[in-house]
Amino acid sequence: MKELISSDRIETRVAELAARISEDFAAKIETDGRPLVLLGVLKGSFMFLADLARRISVPVEIEFASMSSYGNRRESSGTVELRIAPSINLAGRRILVVEDIVDTGRSLSKLLEHLRSFEAEEIRLCAFLDKPAARVVAVHVDYTGFEVPLKFVVGYGLDAAQQYRALAGIYELEEPAGT
Ligand code: IMP
Ligand code: MG
C-alpha cells in the first residue's frame, strides 16, 4: 500500500478545517445559544468526526446517520441504503454533515434530500476527502480536507471490505493480482 496522506498532514488539515468551521458558526451560535449538530455518516467518518469534534471551539451535539453503497465491493453499487433515527430534534437546527469521502455523490445527495424533511435551519457539508473525478451527481461540499485521485483509498476510517479503518494515514490500495 502506498501512503498518500500522512497522519501529520491530516492533523494539521483537521485543525484548519475546525478553525474555519468554528469561525463560520461562532456568531450565530453566540446569538441563539444552540450548538452546532455534527451529523456523522457511519462508519467511514468515525475517526474524522472524533478529531474534528475535539478541535471545533463552538459547542456541538453529535448525531449519526448510516449509509452504505459499496457493500463489500470496491465499485459503487449505485443504490444507497440510508438509516437515520435522530435522537436530537433537527427542526430549526444548524447541521454539519460529516462524511469520509465524496465519490459519485450519490450517498450525499440522497442524505441531503432526506434531511430536508427534518426542516433544519441550515445544512452544510464537510467531507474529509473528495474524489472529484468520480462525480456522477453534483453536490456542493462546503469544507473539504483533501482531494484524491481516482484511486481506491483506505485508512482514517475508510475501509476495503471492513479492513484498514484504524490506519492513521490515507493509503492507496493497490489492486491484488488477478482482479
Ligand atoms: P458515493 O455515494 O459514490 O459518493 O460514495 C460515498 C461512499 O462510498 C463513501 O462515503 C465511502 O464510504 C465509500 N467510498 C467511496 N470511495 C471510496 C474509497 O476510495 N475508499 C473507501 N470508501 C470509499
Ligand atoms: Mg461514507
Residue-wise pLDDT tens digits, 78-107: 677 888 888 899 999 999 999 999 999 999
Q: What is the pLDDT of residue 149?
A: 96
- On the CB side of 82, how many CA atoms lie within 13 Å of its CA? 17
As residues whose CB is below 5 A from the ion ligand 2, the structure lists: 41, 44, 100
State the average pLDDT over residues 28-36.
95
Q: What is the pLDDT of residue 70?
A: 55
Q: What is the pLDDT of residue 73?
A: 62
What is the DSSP-derived secondary structure letter of residue 117?
G
What is the rounded average pLDDT for all residues in the chain?
93
Which residue type does 11 have?
A: E
Cα of 80 to ligand 1 centre, how many Å?
Answer: 11
Query: In whole angstroms, what is the distance from residue 140 CA to residue 158 CA?
Result: 21
pLDDT band at 36 (very low <50, low <70, confident <90, very high): very high
State the average pLDDT over residues 37-45.
97
Query: Which position among 51, 103, 130, 159 bears the catalytic label?
Result: 103
Tell me the sheet residues that pair with 82.
67
Q: What is the pLDDT of residue 175?
A: 75
Mutation pick for ligand 1 pocket among 103, 112, 159 (CB with most ligand atoms within 8 Å): 103
Query: In whole angstroms, what is the distance from residue 94 CA to residue 56 CA?
Result: 15
pLDDT band at 117 (very low <50, low <70, confident <90, very high): very high
Using the predicted structure, report yes or no on whether residue 144 has a pLDDT greater than 60: yes
Q: What is the pLDDT of residue 76?
A: 61
Query: In whole angstroms, what is the distance from residue 98 CA to residue 102 CA?
Result: 11
**Cell numbers that stand for 175 in this block:** 489492486
